[in-house]
Structure 1
């Protein structure tokens, strides 16, 4: 049975300046710190696709919506409910704990071809998705250069 190890690396993230008045960069700093080293194992290409869609900020996959039953497939709901799909972290400036899905921070309006990523994974056994793929040029912060998600066939 083929499985896939998924890891997020934000070692190269450079913290943004923040203050009590300008708290959002601090929230981003705390989130990027919290997801560094995050990892999970996916058990099929279908789950890898779901992982990439979540990372991209797409919400639920249309392919998993069953109109006849009026909702998402049971398989996807079980996968989505896994504890590893949420990251909890303490927002130091705001003073409370936050919980968010494991995805790029904020508005991820960029685009990358999931099909191309899957093809590369199948052919090469490993693929890195830079955070820059997640954002439109207007929403991307250069302090994320070098941050990525890596998927490796195991």
Structure 2
């Protein structure tokens, strides 16, 4: 069975100016710095698809929902809930002086034309896929400070 390695690279992220009145760039700065270098081992193409969907901001997947037991785990499969817990990132927002948590994804409002399915097909074909952050956003939500940042998944075994 093939294994896959995922890595987040934000080395090229440029921190933006921020202040108490303009705090959101500071929150984005802290998040982008916190996720740099995060790696995960994925053990199936299903887990790869989950990671790709999560990166695009989609964490409630209908494919993992069952009406058999909607009260437990909000109806999501135990395996998927375990995956989500492993991909919950907590980081310290220095300007606001508080800890924030979110799933490992792009930052903020993502509504670009990103397709996890297309990225999965690229990985199957080439053995590697690199998803730049800009793919996640439309022009109104993308910040050029993210230029050069990406998530990469490659087949390792």
TM-score, normalisation: structure 2: 0.92
1:6-64 Cα offsets, whole Å, 9 max, x none, are 00001111111101111110010010000010111111000111111111011211111
Listed as ranges, the gaps of 5+ residues in structure 1 are none
Contact between 2:27 and 2:93, CA under 8 Å: does it hold in 1? yes
- Give the stretch that moved more between structures: 138-147 or 113-122: 113-122
SS for the counterpart of 1:115 is: helix
Aligned length: 152
- Cross-structure match for 1:41: 41
Matches of 1:64 and 1:17, distance apart in 2? 40
**Partner SS state of residue 138, structure 1:** coil
Deviation digits for residues 41-88 of structure 1, max 9, x if unmatched?
111000111111111011211111112333112221222222xx0122
Distance 1:79 1:140 in 2: 27
Give the distance between the partners of 2:28 and 2:85, measured in 1 at CA: 24
Range moving further from structure 2, 73-82 or 141-150: 73-82
Any unmatched runs of 5+ in structure 2? none
